[in-house]
Amino acid sequence: MFVTLGIVVGVVAGVSGVVIGALALRQARGAVGDRGRMPARQAVEGAGSPGDLRAIRDVAVFRYDAPEATAGRLSFSVALMNGLGDGIVLTSINGRSEARTHVRPLRGGKGRQPLSPEEEHAVRAARLGLGPEVEPHFGRE
């Protein structure tokens, strides 16, 4: 009786191992297949540009003196966008006694509301790949 029970337990354990192995192999093949299809999908979505278009990839920081009385370029605008131009512009205007910070959403590289010249400057520099930090004379005659 113990021999028969041992055989049954052995068979069940063996069959369970084969089933678990088959499921793992199926999952691994699916992951390899997904990885193989990814470059083709990105080429179609991104017209040949590498990477995920939804990932943040365009970044620029533009520092400036907002209040004329301050020096040291303490104010800044930071543009963070994906390959589609969607993202945000974070602006901090710093004076001697106060600081104001706000965020504006971007769609296609444009704000819902008009952007300040400094924010436009940061967005343009990010789209052109001139970041992370942009010089004040960029884009000015």
Q: Name the more confident of 72 and 140.
A: 72
In this model, does residue 92 exceed pLDDT 90? yes
In this model, does residue 51 exceed pLDDT 70? no
Q: Mean per-residue pLDDT for 75-101?
A: 91
The angle at the Cα of 131, spanning 129 to 134, to the nearest 5 degrees, equals 125
- How far apart, in whole angstroms, are the C-alpha atoms of residue 86 and residue 104? 11
Q: Mean per-residue pLDDT for 41-47?
A: 48
Q: Mean per-residue pLDDT for 31-46?
A: 53
Q: Which backbone phi and psi does 93 adopt, to 5 degrees?
A: -105, 115
Q: Name the more confident of 105 and 3.
A: 105
* Percentage of residues in the chain having pLDDT higher than 70: 74
- Residue pair 60/88 in contact (Cβ under 8 Å)? The answer is no
Q: Identify the DSSP state of 100.
A: E
State residue 32's pLDDT score. Answer: 66
Q: Identify the DSSP state of 4.
A: H
Q: In the structure, what pLDDT confidence band is assigned to residue 141 with cuts at 50, 70 and 90?
A: very low
User: What are the strands of the beta sheet with 87-94, ordered from one edge?
Assistant: 110-111, 99-107, 87-94, 75-82, 56-64, 133-134
**Predicted TM-score of the model (pTM):** 0.59
